Amino acid sequence: MAVAIKGNVVNANPTPGANFYQFTHNQNTGDDGLLVIQLTMSNVRSYTGCNYGGQSMTQLYTVNRGGLSQRMAFFYLENPPTGNNTLRVNFNNSVWNPISIHSRSFTGSGGIGNNVRVGGQSTPNNGSLTVADDSLIMATACSINAISTIQIPQGSNRSFATHNTNRQVGTGAISSDSGHNAGSISIRTTSTFGSVTNDRVEILGSSAPVVDTGGDFFMLM
């Protein structure tokens, strides 16, 4: 196994003002590509799908956080087209609240593994995710109050984008490049006060390479 290679990132916090929002994302070139997008917006509207370069992305989850009046979602696409392509997020009606968008490319990925979603709990919100060897973990958090930290694993602060959707969102936090050993990994999210969510997704490393002994096989008769 080998840890997936992190690629290009887009962080955006627009008010779509239409029943879709689209932007350009540059997917890195390389084998076993993966494109993911994390979304948070008001639960007044719903996500109806995402596509990239005209290809429909797979919905991993969409969850209504009623206490925060937010709807959070995660979509992904394996082996997406490379280079600059349009990533389009569709809604069931025009969205007039700001949306938090984080998209990230990978190469050398085995796709999406486990995921766990936990709604608002008093800060700190501690959880775990069981992962395979050489996996990365992506996490996002939402609160009424400012997001203070996202730790992957607990005790290791990871950088994240701060967005305002009329709630506070921390998105795009990801493990260090070295990834994790197989097992249960602790993830902590914190806010300055009150409750905070803790959603985490496993990004699998590439499959073990086929061992090539380099030798030809001859049978002598």
Which positions touch another protein (CB under 8 A)?
8-19, 21-24, 26, 44, 83-84, 94, 96-97, 161
Alpha helices in 6-127 (DSSP H): none
Q: Rg of the chain over CA atoms, in angstroms?
A: 19
For another protein, give the closer residue by CB, 175 or 198.
175
Token pair belonging to 4: 């997936």
For another protein, give the closer residue by CB, 9 or 132.
9
DSSP category for residue 135:
B
For another protein, give the closer residue by CB, 15 or 184.
15
Q: How far is the CB of 32 from another protein (least distance, A)?
A: 19
My answer on whether omega of the bond before 124 falls inside 30° of 0, hence cis, is yes
The amino acid that residue 209 corresponds to is P
Q: How far is the CB of 103 from another protein (least distance, A)?
A: 9
DSSP category for residue 3:
P
For another protein, give the closer residue by CB, 29 or 192.
29
SS3 of 191, please? strand
Q: How far is the CB of 120 from another protein (least distance, A)?
A: 23
What's the CA angle centered on 187, arms 169 and 209, to 5 degrees? 110
Q: How far is the CB of 117 from another protein (least distance, A)?
A: 25
Q: How far is the CB of 215 from another protein (least distance, A)?
A: 42
For another protein, give the closer residue by CB, 169 or 185.
169
The amino acid that residue 199 corresponds to is D
